[in-house]
Structure 1
Amino acid sequence: MTAASMSDLAPLVPLETRDGLLLDVRPAYAEDEGLLAAFFEKVSDEDRRFRFLAASRNVSHDQLVPLTRVDHWRTESFLAFERETGALVASAMLACDAVMDTGEVAVAVRRDFRGRGVGWTMLDLLASEARKRGLKRVISIEDRENHAAIELEREKGFEAHGIDGDPHLVMLEKRFD
């Protein structure tokens, strides 16, 4: 399924990365499970491990369900398509706590689109959506070895904190005024 064939479900939001790459972004739906499964095959093994905090060659149905069956308020999952080809190049998620105070964010970018500003743009989108929902902060849980994500999040104003009892993970936090 391409961006165009799903555009009747939700309008495509045009975004441009800092490198000038044009994206069309829309929410994910249950019908996107196969599309996301194929997308995660084009994400590097290391990036897939960083995204799910577990090593696996494939993303399972149980891992895809939370990305495709969301309520579109407390939890939102976005898909970013390259405008020129319609190819899915990124997945981004915002998952809010029950009191709508804190949202956890996660972004995955196809390996051949890394370094083109896609992650930066998707993180901006997630922060904007968090503000629309009235959240006070967003967090990201990262493997300490995920230097690229940690650096990106720090550039976007996140502060790093250790996680008690787990020397392999770090929580990055961005507060909204």
Structure 2
Amino acid sequence: MTTLADLAPITELTTRDGTVLTVRPAFAEDEAALEAFFDLVNAEDRRFRFLAASQHVGHDQLQPLTHVDHWRTESFLGYDRKSGELVASAMLACDAKMHTGEIAVSVRGDYRGKGVGWTMLDLLAAEAQRRGLKRVISIEDRDNHAAIELEREKGFTAHGLDGDPHLVLLEKRFD
């Protein structure tokens, strides 16, 4: 019998505070774990991730995170190796030409400030480069100062988004 461990390459990454994350791709079987995870992401961060206020993230929002092709679109889950708990979700969604990938990261509320977001962002950038993308982008609410600052520190440049004064596009080029 094939298990998730057989299908999902597992990577261990260490955050700046020494937390060791076990990271693997997400699968359909992970929907319940992601649903519980997003209940532990603070409300403002949930709003920033989905660009809409939501007290609970349900099936319609979770399906794109768990039903991916693992090449053009990848969804990663980060677990604290010590506790085994899901503490981060990161997504890379590429355009049809494999030129640009949009990224998004969420971190459980009690793991913020430990370098988990930094580590997952580095993973997404490395994956984008491995897949041959020319750039990654992130669309952020202008009020999401923490994410914008983090992405700038990681080499992203900010651009206004035509037609929407509430959003900003951050871009990191690899060429």
Identity in percent: 75
The root-mean-square deviation of aligned C-alpha atoms, in Å, is 0.9
Q: What do residues 103-128 of structure 1 show as CA deviations (whole Å, max 9, x unaligned)?
A: 00000000000000000000000000
State how far apart, in whole Å, the 1-side matches of 2:121 and 2:149 are. 13
Determine the structure 2 residue equivalent to 1:23.
21
Q: What do residues 76-115 of structure 1 show as CA deviations (whole Å, max 9, x unaligned)?
A: 0000000001000000000000000000000000000000
Unpaired runs of 5+ residues, structure 1, are none
Determine the structure 1 residue equivalent to 2:36.
38
1:99 aligns with 2:97: yes
Count of equivalent residues: 173
Matches within 5 A, 1:19-168: 19-168=17-166
Letter of the 1:152 partner, please give it.
L
Task: Specify the SS of the correspondent of 2:48.
Answer: helix
Task: Specify the SS of the correspondent of 2:62.
Answer: helix
Residue 11 of structure 1: CA displacement? 3.1
TM superposition outliers: structure 1 runs of 4+ over 3 Å: none
State how far apart, in whole Å, the 2-side matches of 1:136 and 1:13 are. 24
If the length of structure 1 is used for normalisation, what is the TM-score?
0.96
State how far apart, in whole Å, the 1-side matches of 2:69 and 2:169 are. 25
Residue 171 of structure 1: CA displacement? 0.2
Letter of the 2:54 partner, please give it.
S
Residue 6 of structure 1: CA displacement? 4.2
Residue 19 of structure 1: CA displacement? 1.2
